[in-house]
Amino acid sequence: MRENQLRVYRPESSPIAGNYGSLAATLSRAGRLDEAEEAVEKALAMYAAVEDYNEMGLSRETLAQIKELQGKFEEAREVRLRGKERREICCANDQVSLLMVELEQRADCGDAVSLDEDRLSSA
């Protein structure tokens, strides 16, 4: 599929980055966290190149979840907070209706271990 997309899209485009994001999610579910991290980092770089901030938010959340699975809670927190200046923090909790939420709302969500100060300090 990627070869077909490369005939139509530039190598650093949102659709190609989306492939890396999907790959990262699949690798993460398979427990291949280092490979998942590499794939999502590629996606993030591509989204940054085309200034696709919504997809960057989603990819940051994927990366943060991978970091949490690796037990790297402080790194997960840093990844999530990269969107703070643009006020874009993605929430992966399907009970939250907004895709990009205010940082204060995201911290109260409880789905992100790394943004919960009490849970972070006890980890």
* 122, two tokens: 């006890």
**pLDDT tens track, the chain, 123 positions:** 456 555 555 667 787 898 899 999 999 999 999 999 999 999 999 999 988 888 888 899 899 999 999 999 899 888 888 877 776 667 665 554 444 445 555 554 545 555 555 444 444
Q: What is the C-alpha separation between 66 and 86, in angstroms, rounded?
A: 22
Q: What pLDDT is recorded for position 21?
A: 92
Using the CB atoms, write b or e for 68-101: b if 16+ within 10 Å.
Answer: beeebbebbbebbbbbeeeebbbbeeeeeeeebb
Do 76 and 119 meet the contact criterion of CB atoms below 8 Å apart?
Answer: no
The answer to whether 70 touches 63, Cβ cutoff 8 Å, is no
The model's pTM is 0.70
Domains, the chain, in order of start with CATH, read 2-122 (1.25.40.10)
pLDDT at 35: 97
Q: Which of 68, 70, 54 is nearest to 115 (CA)?
A: 68
